[in-house]
Amino acid sequence: MMAEQNLRCFAYNAPPASWLPPRQHLTNIVRRHTIKFMSTDWIIPREIPADKALHAVSGQYREADPSAMETLLTLFRVTADLQGAMAQRLARHSLSHRRFVVLIMLQTEGGEMCCSDLADAIGVSRATITGLLDSLERDGLIRRVDNPEDRRRVTVTLSASGRRFLDEILPGHFRAVASLMASLNENECKKLRELLAKIRSSIPALLKP
């Protein structure tokens, strides 16, 4: 029962291994939860500084809030760990996170999208999406078709191999996502999402002078 509850808690709404969700349902999920992983240029401490050290900083700078600093560093640490684990998991299938998201977006849109729409949907430049599509096409997972009426528009479609590939890897991916969130019940998942949404809404504060 707990496992079934957790399937509804995470970004991908992970289903049982024997079932793949309807494409229209996945579309909404991916659009809401497509994220850009932290840059590899970020350096995150492996251990959060001790409470004593954080309070020492607040003693030197009155603006420093030890609780706020510890919470932000913890959030950064968890994000970095998730990024690393996800990268390792996808690497087993010769995928980067971006290549994976492109394939998922195509699947949830019925197997095809305009190239420019795809770039906008995942938040990358035209040059970046071209590079991603080049590699996926070389692997036989997608095809690009020119629009005969508008040569500037290129349609990207999942190939038959691409569909089979996703059918092979997604059940295991969804199982892993469910296991990741298994320590939280449904109410805890909901509360976590609410708290993260509050933090996200405050991000513009970092851009102030």
Q: Which residues contact 136 (CB under 8 A, 6 or more apart)?
A: 99, 102, 103, 142, 162
Q: What is the pLDDT of residue 151?
A: 67
Alpha carbons 2 and 13: distance in angstroms, whole number: 14
Mean pLDDT by 10 residues, the chain (209 residues): 39 36 44 44 75 85 88 91 93 94 92 90 90 95 84 87 96 96 97 96 92
- Is 78 among the domain residues? yes
Q: What is the pLDDT of residue 201?
A: 96
How many structural domains does the chain have?
1
Q: What is the pLDDT of residue 90?
A: 95
* DSSP class of 134: H
- Is 91 among the domain residues? yes
- Is 11 among the domain residues? yes
- Is 208 among the domain residues? no
- Is 209 among the domain residues? no
Tokens of 149: 């009426």
For 123, the domain range is: 2-36+46-202
Q: Residue 59 belongs to a domain with what CATH number?
A: 1.10.10.10
Angle between helices 160-180 and 97-108 (to 10 degrees): 110
C-alpha angle with apex 111: 87 to 27, nearest 5 degrees? Answer: 65
* β-strands 150-158, 142-147 pairing: antiparallel
The structure's pTM equals 0.70
Alpha carbons 122 and 129: distance in angstroms, whole number: 9
